[in-house]
């Protein structure tokens, strides 16, 4: 008697989940040590038809205005977009890069930009965490928080808040960062949707915004999602020390 052989279904290939904002994302990008060149690189690579709002924040110690005007001049000289330090109460607009003023947190409420000295107990003012949390609460699934090079962990709690509100989180590849600690802490304490080197971040931003500018942006988002999953499943990361002189 011939035994009947039942065909077994082929195992499914591993799939990579690609998360997109539902529409018109709002980007906030935080950096610390090494951040001037990183933000400059992103600013000069975004195309002139990039129609989303972008917030740049280079965190600083309270009452320290070092490099504020220099940073604004550098970004403005390199960017194809409108670069400004807004006024309190300005409406958030697409195609703008917003930079905070001296010694003030920058937040958004009812699509209006708000400056504040509070919370006053933060070591940094402006603080990346304060911006990321505000953007997450205001725009929920439209929020995209990107953490770049830097020491310590400012911005990590903001990434977690972005995740809780359904937004998208991104970390620069630690091995690519001038200072890897902030991206490392992001990988340890959050699970970013995308992890990638600095030079690919503008392509990822265009892909998330559905602005077709870079020929490789589809591959960039897939590689960034795979890198995020790989680092999450195999966290071969040494726990960074918090005892660092900034």
Looking at per-residue pLDDT, the higher value among 66 and 159 belongs to 159
| Contact between residue 140 and residue 166 where contact means Cβ atoms under 8 Å apart | yes
Q: What would the pLDDT profile of 173-197 be if each residue is shown by its tens digit?
A: 999 999 999 999 999 998 999 999 9
| pTM of the predicted model as reported, rounded to 2 decimal places | 0.87
Segment 121-137 shows an average pLDDT of 85
Q: Residue 234: its pLDDT value, please?
A: 57
pLDDT of residue 244: 39
- The full set of domain ranges for the chain reads 26-233
| pLDDT at residue 2 greater than cutoff 70 | no
- When pLDDT is averaged across residues 216-220 and rounded to a whole number, the result is 98
CA separation for the pair 143, 157 (Å, rounded): 15
CA 188, 158, 150 angle in degrees (round to 5)?
Answer: 65
Rounded CA-CA distance 138/42 in Å is: 24
Mean pLDDT across 25-42: 95
User: What average pLDDT does this structure show over 64-73?
Assistant: 67
Instruction: Answer whether residue 123 shows pLDDT above 70.
Output: no
Read off the pLDDT of residues 88-114 as tens digits, 9 standing for 90 and up.
999 999 999 999 988 789 999 999 999
Nearest CA-CA partner of 71 in 39, 93, 29: 39
pLDDT of res. 17: 83
How does DSSP assign 116-127, residue by residue? E--STT-SBSS-
Question: Confidence class of residue 65 from pLDDT cuts 50, 70 and 90?
Answer: low
Q: In this predicted structure, what is the pLDDT of residue 242?
A: 43
Q: Please report the pLDDT score of residue 6 as a whole number.
A: 52
Q: How many CB atoms lie within 10 A of CB 6?
A: 4
> In degrees rounded to 5, what are phi and psi of residue 174?
-55, -40
CB 126 within 8 A of CB 59: yes
Per-residue pLDDT tens for 132-189? 999 999 999 999 999 999 998 899 999 999 999 999 999 999 999 999 999 999 999 9
Q: Which fold has domain 26-233?
A: Rossmann fold (3.40.50)
pLDDT at 235 (0 to 100): 52
Which pLDDT value is given to residue 104?
87
pLDDT of residue 106: 93
pLDDT at 237: 54
Give me the residues paired with residue 83 across strands: 97
């Amino acid at each position: 008697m011939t035994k009947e052989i039942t065909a077994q279904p082929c195992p499914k290939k591993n799939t990579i989940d690609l998360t997109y904002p539902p529409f018109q994302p709002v980007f906030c990008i935080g950096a610390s040590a090494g951040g001037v060149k990183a933000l400059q690189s992103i600013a000069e690579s975004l195309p002139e038809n990039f129609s989303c709002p972008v917030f740049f924040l280079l965190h600083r110690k309270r009452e320290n205005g070092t490099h504020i005007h220099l940073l604004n001049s550098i970004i403005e000289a390199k960017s194809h977009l409108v670069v400004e330090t807004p006024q309190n109460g300005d409406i958030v607009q697409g195609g703008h890069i917003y930079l905070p003023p001296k010694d003030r947190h920058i937040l958004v409420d009812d699509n209006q930009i708000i400056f504040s000295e509070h919370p006053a107990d933060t070591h940094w003012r402006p603080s990346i965490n304060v911006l990321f949390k505000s953007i997450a609460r205001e725009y929920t699934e439209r929020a995209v928080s990107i953490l770049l090079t830097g020491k310590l962990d400012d911005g990590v709690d903001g990434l977690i808040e972005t995740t809780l509100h359904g937004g998208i989180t991104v970390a620069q590849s630690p091995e690519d960062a001038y200072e890897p600690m902030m991206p490392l802490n992001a990988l340890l304490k959050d699970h970013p949707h995308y992890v990638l080197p600095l030079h690919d971040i503008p392509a990822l931003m265009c892909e998330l915004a559905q602005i077709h500018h870079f020929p490789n942006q589809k591959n960039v988002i897939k590689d960034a999602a795979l890198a995020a999953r790989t680092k999450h499943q195999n966290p071969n990361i040494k726990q960074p020390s918090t005892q660092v002189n900034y």
